[in-house]
Amino acid sequence: MFFHLCIALSSLLLSSFASLTSSSTSASLSIYEVLRSHGLPMGLLPKGVTDFIIDDNGRFEVHLDQACNAKFESELHYDRNVSGSLSYGQIGELSGISAQELFLWFPVKGIRVDVPSSGLIYFDVGVVFKQFSLSLFETPPNCKAVRGDERPEESNFANLSGRLQYRFDQEDLVRDVL
């Protein structure tokens, strides 16, 4: 009886140790390795990730040192906190990343790689899917810090449009007088 109890306790301890080892192995992966294991390029997130959490359903949250902008074919803005739902080849319910097109910023709502051999990755910016070369995102980019979660280009555009509006108003005034 004592012998059977010892064997049962031993197997319980071994199975506990095995599960502890497997969870510590997954906990030691970086977010970049997690992205790669889900069929996504490591460069979707910039350098500077300080912490991340991912649950069993793929819901994740990433914390950066600071809000920043990275340049690819167009510019991407990363808030200090980025979150989404990770599944193989895609990220859905994404928040914390914006893409610039001309002078406007659009929130990126999702990212997907359809067929890795195509060499293309798609960013869902609400109204359209922006297509990029997958090779742009092979390595985590350096990211230029911005103040808080402010996008300097967005505020400059607002100031510029205010000046343009003022000039148009002045021209209309001159025409009305003449």
**C-beta separation of 48 from 143 below 8 A:** yes
- Number of Cβ atoms within 10 Å of the Cβ of 60: 18
pLDDT in tens, 19-38: 333 333 345 899 999 999 99
Nearest of 90, 121, 125, 118 to residue 104 by alpha carbon: 125
Nearest Cα to Cα of residue 72 among 3, 133, 15, 29: 133
pLDDT tens-digit readout, 58-80: 999 999 999 999 999 889 999 99
Q: pLDDT tens digits for 88-139?
A: 999 999 999 999 988 899 999 999 998 878 999 999 998 889 999 999 999 9
The per-residue pLDDT for range 127-170, each reduced to its tens digit, is 889 999 999 999 999 999 997 545 544 444 443 444 444 444 45
pLDDT of 103 reads 86
- Domains of the chain are 30-173 (2.30.240)
Residue 83, both tokens: 């979150």
- Is 0.75 surpassed by the pTM of this model? no
Distance CA 78, CA 16 (A): 39
Q: What element of type H or E holds 2?
A: helix 2-27
Q: How far is CA 56 from CA 21, 26, 93, in A?
A: 17, 11, 16
